[in-house]
Amino acid sequence: MAPACPSCGLQFGRGEPGYWLGAYFINLIAAEAVFVGVLGVVLWWTWPDPPWTALVWGLGAAMVVAPVALYPLSHTLFLAFDLLCRPPTSEDFDAPHEPARAVRRYS
């Protein structure tokens, strides 16, 4: 993911330690919602005789794919929630600064 918005320059991390923990939480909730939603629909659709083996394998694969597929969306949703709770300041639009790597120079 890019460190800042290419249009307005808003930093996605917003400089708080542990900032992405909220995004990870949203990703976890979204993956669990996929699990419960698919399980509920399949059970409702096939109810007296649900395909248990297909459910186990299909939902197992979904639990591997869903968090990876929803990763960028979860960060964006958490940033939107954070912007609602804490409006952006001028520091949020500064260019991200990364420390330069020390390079050993030989003379």
- Residue range 49-61, pLDDT digits in tens: 999 999 999 999 9
45 pLDDT more than 70: yes
Distance of alpha carbon 29 from alpha carbon 34, whole angstroms: 9
pLDDT tens digit string along 1-34?
777 888 888 887 777 777 778 889 999 999 999 9
pTM equals: 0.72
Q: Domain segments of the chain: what residues?
A: 21-86
Instruction: Give the model's pLDDT for residue 99.
Output: 59
DSSP 4: B
Q: Which of 69, 55, 92, 70 is nearest to 23 (CA)?
A: 70
Residue 100: which pLDDT band, with cuts at 50, 70 and 90?
A: low
How many angstroms separate the CA atoms of 52 and 48, rounded?
A: 12
pLDDT of residue 89: 86
Residue environment code for 27-37, b if the CB has 16+ CB neighbours within 10 A, otherwise e: beebbeebeee
